[in-house]
Each structure stands twice: as C-alpha cells, then as structure tokens.
Amino acid sequence: MTQTTGLRAVLMLVVLSLAGTAVAMNQSIMLPLLSDLPRLLDTSAASASWLVTATLLAGALATPNISRLADMFGKRRMVLVSLAAMVAGSLIGALADSLAPMLVARALQGTGMALVPVGIAIMRDMLPRHHVPLGVALMSATMAVGAGVGMPLFGLVAARMDWHALFWITGGLGAAVLVAIALVVDESPIRTAGRFDYLGAILLSVALSALLLALSKGGSWGWASRPTLLSALCGLLVLALWVPQQLRAPAGGRPAHRRAARSASREHRRHAHGVCDVRRSPRDLTAPPGAQPRRDRPRP
C-alpha cells in the first residue's frame, strides 16, 4: 500500500483536522440562540429543544452506519458525503424560518459527526505509522478548539447580525473543507468485504434513538415519567436483541455456522482426496494438477 508522505501528508493532516473543527462548530451553533429560538421560530421552548436533540440523534445513527459504508465503499468518499450533508444542512438552516425545516437542517448537520472516526481511519491507512498518533491528537485538539471558538464567535455574530448568518458561516467553512479534501486527500485502498447488515443497522438505530431520547428529554419529561421509562426500556430491549443478532450476523454474506460448515466440508474433501486415497502412488500425489494417474502394470 502506498503511503502519503512529505508535504502532502502535512496537508492531509491539516485538512482533516479542519474537518473536525467544522464538525465541532456545527454542534455548537445553536447554543447562543437557545433562549431566543421559541421567538425566532414561533414555537414553544419544548419544541425548540428538539433542534439540539435532532443533531445528537442524527450523529449517533450516522456514525456506525457511515463508518461501515466507508469500510465497504471508500473512506474518502464517505467523508465527502458527510461533509456534503453537513453543508446542505447549513444551507437549509440559512434559509429556514420555521421549526420543520430547521429540524431537517440540524439532522443533516448532525450526520457530519460521522466523518471524525472515518477521518482518523484515513490517517491510519494513508500516513506513516509514526505520524498516526500526531494526526489523531491533532484532530481531537482541533475539535476542542472548534467548540471553544465557536460559542463566543457565534454569540458575537448573533448579537451583531441576523441569526441566519451563523448557518452561512458554517456552510462556507464546510464547503471549503469539502473542496480541500477532494483535492488533497487520497482514497484509502483498504476495503472490507461483505454486505451491509440492514437488520443490525435498524436495530442499533432504534436502540440508540430510544436511549438518547430518554437521556436528552428526561429532564423535561421527568426521569420517572412514563415516556422516559418507556423510551429507556425500549432502547435496552432492542439493544438486547441487537447483541445476539450481531454474534450470528454474517461477516462475509453467510451466517457463521454455514461458513464453518462449508470450511469443514472443504477441508474434509481435500483430506479425503489428497491424503486418504490409498490407490494413488507417491508419484501421483506430486504430479501436476490434471495429470492422469499412473497405472502400474501387474507383475508376471
């Protein structure tokens, strides 16, 4: 596998780290507006709080699924897909004036969280081994910087300008990072064979959604209220179904017990035809494939 070295490796580190910064800024964009969202969107405070919850749920659902798709179809490709969704969310948010399109915008922005682990995987595949710890640390640090800089910056912008400008800023940053990754980052040649586990993805998505819903809304619903308890119980039950399903799930398209049976059958046939055929002479065992077995003439 060809690794990225020299100036291109440095540019890859910088660009992927900026992607982490863009993700962190997208997550903190709503914080300066929380108290004003009911008035800005003409909705209730409880409904406006879903703008934060939607981002968390979308990120939790997108991260494992996009990571698996990245292993199958290409890590750079799925990073670009995540960034494109994040930019689309910023564009919708910049043009929205009601709750429904804002929920869609925040959900699309939340899918950008998936590019962080995929970006780290690209570093692991493409950079020299001694540069990988630096890349992981740099991406983690820039995410913290993005969250730390984003909150005061967005607060200042919201106080001096129209609140839609926040989404134009994140959209412009995301578009710039998308173009930079397309130009600088090479595709990883490492792929994982197999098929996408749709049933496992659905079960995990339902489990994570229910658990995160209970955790994020428990304070407003009441930790002992029926919706919170039902949501948490549903998440735990589905998670209990997901674990054994994953243990039996195919790694390469077939269930584990069928793969084991096929492997044992092939081994048995190879052993029977290659070792236990006492009618074959030693010369036959070393003969090239396709050669006719030697027939010794009977002694007079």
pLDDT at 85: 93
Q: What is residue 88's predicted lDDT score, i.e. its pLDDT?
A: 94
Mean pLDDT over 73-93 rounds to: 92
Alpha-helix residue ranges (DSSP H) falling in 188-225? 198-221
- 80 pLDDT band, cuts 50/70/90, is very high
Task: State the Cα angle at 60 between 59 and 65, rounded to 5°.
Answer: 90
Name the percent of the chain lying above pLDDT 90. Answer: 17
State the pTM of this model: 0.72
More confident residue, 23 or 289: 23
Which H helix or E strand runs over 141?
Answer: helix 132-160
Query: What phi-psi label fits residue 162: left (phi over 0), alpha (psi between -120 and 50 degrees) or beta?
Result: beta
Pairwise pLDDT comparison (200 vs 3), residue with the higher score: 200
Q: Cβ(82)–Cβ(178) under 8 Å?
A: no
* Structure confidence at residue 168 (pLDDT): 93
CA gap 212, 204 in Å, rounded: 12
Spatial distance between the Cα atoms of 88 and 71, rounded to a whole number of angstroms: 24
The number of CA neighbours under 13 Å toward the Cβ of 6 is: 4
Structure letter (DSSP) for residue 44: -
Q: How high is the pLDDT of residue 57?
A: 86
pLDDT at 260: 41
Residue 250's pLDDT band, with cuts at 50, 70 and 90, is low
